């Protein structure tokens, strides 16, 4: 006598338990790879992830139906798992079986989590909050992405509104012919875009994955609208199988939207708390515009007038310093490329130091090309350091310094990775190069962070002594003071240079006592 089949509800609970067991097996495989992982940060992150997964499985297996928070926990763990970045090879050991096993285990965990979410959905458990697990370390973009995050949130809202419209259409009158090929096409297309959106729900630190997510959701929004319109037209003639497919697809869309919405909200909160520019108590004025935060201070000139200087906030973040080997005009001194992480942001002069500010502080004007709004030139590195010392003494709390070479390139790129912050090519409408003289500071378009003339006009002194390449360079954005030549780094190119020399990655140098009519500087503020 054959055993009777369990009731549907019990069968769904068994299916969920099996999916959680698969998640536990993948977690065990992840743990098995940990003893051989050479990277401490990767080891810590993977170990925390494994602990979080084991804790989730243990907690929810105690409840026959998975527990009311299961969907939230699964969605949160999915986000944390996608944040685990496993390199293809170890820095010291190259390709290792442990890393391959770790990558495989991560893929299995993602697959198991997806299956578990589907099983939980069959029990009516859907993420409504999808918090990130508190015991799993996750880095997220900070300042500089607020507009992008708001745009993504708007697209997600549009997706959900269209799905709400579909729910309303289901309750409408039925009575159209049996024809489901078009619906099936849209269901398949939506599944593809949902997978794409889930793939790009990878938490990154530079915003690039959020950009991809935005593009995916934009396409998903359009497809959702087409899907709603199609189902409205054919709802009474959709076969039961296709109706079930459509319902499952809609649940997936809602799950993706809810999970992404929670991640975006969490990121926005962290951005406001950790990435926002600190209060500029040292400034006379401060504000915010389309380029971000700004603050300014003033200096009293000899005639009693006030000379004002504005600084721009460069948010915390990370970038790849140097140029790729295939960049046109590249020199070997621009490598090897390496990641630099700015745990804290910094303020930087919006423009090169202009002559009226120099004269107000130093009492003279050494520039051979005169003009109060022109950049000060004919100043050596030592001259710039004396300016900084005198201005700091006159304005306690200002704490200015010459920027490090890493700070300068980070600010010049302003989140871009092309040869110029404006793109792969430039023109004289954007940059003063290959000409005959300097132009007034602030007269050319700024980059994305509101900084003017980072390319061309005048070379700008940096704090660092010259090194022939980046082997051994600091990874925290600080000035590379150890070793190096007696000469100092200059960056940005000048009014007399060629396009090659005004690239973001180009490095120049000069003896710290030399003075030229094409060299100036701008200051950073030490936090």
Residues 13, 153 within the same domain? no
Does a structural domain hold residue 474? yes
Does a structural domain hold residue 501? yes
Mean pLDDT, residues 304-323 taken together: 94
Each residue's pLDDT tens digit, 242-292: 455 555 555 655 665 565 555 555 555 554 444 456 667 889 999 988 888
Which of 249, 275, 301 corresponds to the end of one domain?
275
Does a structural domain hold residue 185? yes
Q: What is the token pair recorded at 84?
A: 């685990």
Residues 305, 444 within the same domain? yes
Q: What is the token pair recorded at 165?
A: 């419209």
Residues 515, 370 within the same domain? yes
Confidence tier at 204 by pLDDT (50, 70, 90): very low
Torsion of CA 401, 404, 408, 409, to 10 degrees: -170
Residues 110, 99 within the same domain? yes
Which of 223, 247, 275 corresponds to the end of one domain?
275
DSSP assignments along 318-356, one per residue: EEEES--TTSTT--GGG-S-EEEEESS-EEEESSSPBHH
Residues 345, 431 within the same domain? yes
Mean pLDDT, residues 51-78 taken together: 72
Question: Is residue 57's pLDDT more than 90?
Answer: no
Residues 309, 231 within the same domain? no
What is the model's pTM? Answer: 0.54
CATH number at residue 11: 1.20.120
Does a structural domain hold residue 280? no
Residues 305, 268 within the same domain? no
Confidence tier at 314 by pLDDT (50, 70, 90): very high
Q: Which range marks the domain in which residue 72 is found?
A: 1-138
Residues 88, 146 within the same domain? no
Each residue's pLDDT tens digit, 451-509: 999 999 999 999 999 999 999 999 999 999 888 788 999 999 999 999 999 999 999 99
Residues 105, 53 within the same domain? yes
Mean pLDDT, residues 338-345 taken together: 90
Does a structural domain hold residue 264? yes
- Name the average pLDDT for the chain: 76
**Domain count of the chain?**
3
Strands 317-321 and 507-511 turn out to be: unpaired
Q: In terms of pLDDT, which residue wins out, 235 or 108?
A: 108
Question: Is residue 324's pLDDT more than 70?
Answer: yes
pLDDT at site 259: 55
Question: Is residue 85's pLDDT more than 70?
Answer: yes
Residues 267, 386 within the same domain? no
Does a structural domain hold residue 24? yes
Confidence tier at 45 by pLDDT (50, 70, 90): confident
Residues 431, 457 within the same domain? yes
pLDDT at site 91: 58
Residues 221, 303 within the same domain? no
Question: Is residue 198's pLDDT more than 60?
Answer: no
DSSP-assigned letter for residue 500: G
Which of 138, 153, 179 corresponds to the end of one domain?
138
Cβ proximity of 294 and 313 under 8 Å: yes
CATH number at residue 427: 3.90.1580.10
């Amino acid at each position: 006598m054959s055993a009777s089949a369990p009731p549907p509800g019990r069968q769904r609970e068994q299916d969920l338990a099996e999916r959680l067991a698969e998640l536990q097996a993948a977690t065990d495989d992840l743990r098995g790879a940990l003893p051989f992982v050479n990277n401490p940060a990767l080891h810590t992150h993977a170990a925390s992830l494994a602990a979080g997964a084991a804790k989730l499985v243990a907690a929810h297996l105690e409840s026959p139906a998975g527990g009311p928070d299961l969907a939230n926990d699964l969605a949160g763990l999915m986000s944390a798992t996608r944040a685990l970045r496993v390199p293809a090879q170890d820095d010291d050991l190259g390709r290792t079986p442990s890393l391959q096993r770790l990558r495989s285990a991560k893929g299995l965990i993602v697959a198991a989590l997806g299956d578990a979410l589907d099983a939980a959905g069959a029990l009516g458990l859907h993420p409504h909050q999808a918090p990130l697990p508190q015991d799993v370390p996750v880095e997220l973009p900070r300042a500089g992405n607020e507009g992008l995050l708001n745009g993504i949130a708007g697209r997600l809202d549009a997706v959900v509104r269209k799905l709400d419209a579909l729910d309303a259409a289901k309750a409408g009158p039925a009575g159209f012919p049996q024809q489901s090929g078009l619906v099936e096409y849209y269901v398949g297309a939506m599944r593809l875009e949902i997978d794409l959106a889930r793939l790009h729900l990878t938490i990154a630190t530079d915003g690039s994955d959020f950009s991809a997510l935005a593009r995916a959701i934009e396409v998903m929004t359009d497809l959702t609208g087409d899907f709603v319109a199609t189902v409205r037209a054919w709802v009474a003639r959709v076969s039961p199988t296709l109706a079930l497919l459509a319902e499952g697809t809609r649940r997936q869309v809602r799950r993706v939207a809810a999970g992404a919405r929670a991640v975006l909200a969490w990121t926005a909160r962290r951005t406001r708390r950790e990435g926002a520019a600190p209060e500029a108590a040292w400034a006379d004025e401060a504000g915010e515009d389309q380029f971000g935060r700004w603050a300014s201070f003033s200096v009293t000139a000899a005639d009693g007038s006030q000379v004002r200087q504005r600084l721009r906030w460069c948010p915390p973040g990370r970038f790849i310093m140097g140029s790729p080997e295939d960049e046109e005009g590249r020199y070997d001194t621009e490598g090897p490329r390496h990641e630099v992480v700015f745990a804290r942001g910094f303020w930087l002069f919006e423009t090169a130091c202009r002559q009226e500010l120099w004269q107000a502080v130093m009492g003279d004007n050494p520039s051979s090309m005169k003009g109060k709004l022109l950049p000060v030139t004919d100043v050596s590195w030592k001259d710039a350091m004396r300016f900084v010392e005198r201005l700091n003494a006159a304005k306690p709390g200002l704490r200015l310094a010459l920027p490090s070479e890493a700070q300068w390139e980070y600010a010049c790129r302003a989140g871009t990775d092309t040869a110029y912050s404006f793109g792969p090519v430039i023109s004289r409408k954007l940059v003063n190069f290959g000409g005959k003289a300097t132009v007034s500071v602030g007269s050319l378009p700024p980059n994305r962070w509101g900084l003017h003339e980072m390319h061309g006009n005048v070379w700008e002194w940096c704090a660092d002594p010259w090194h022939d390449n980046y082997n051994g360079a600091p990874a925290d954005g600080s000035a590379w003071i150890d070793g190096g030549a007696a000469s100092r780094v200059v960056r940005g190119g000048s009014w007399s240079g060629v396009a090659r020399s005004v690239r973001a990655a180009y490095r120049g140098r000069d003896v710290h006592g030399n003075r030229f009519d094409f060299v100036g500087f701008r200051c950073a503020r030490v936090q």
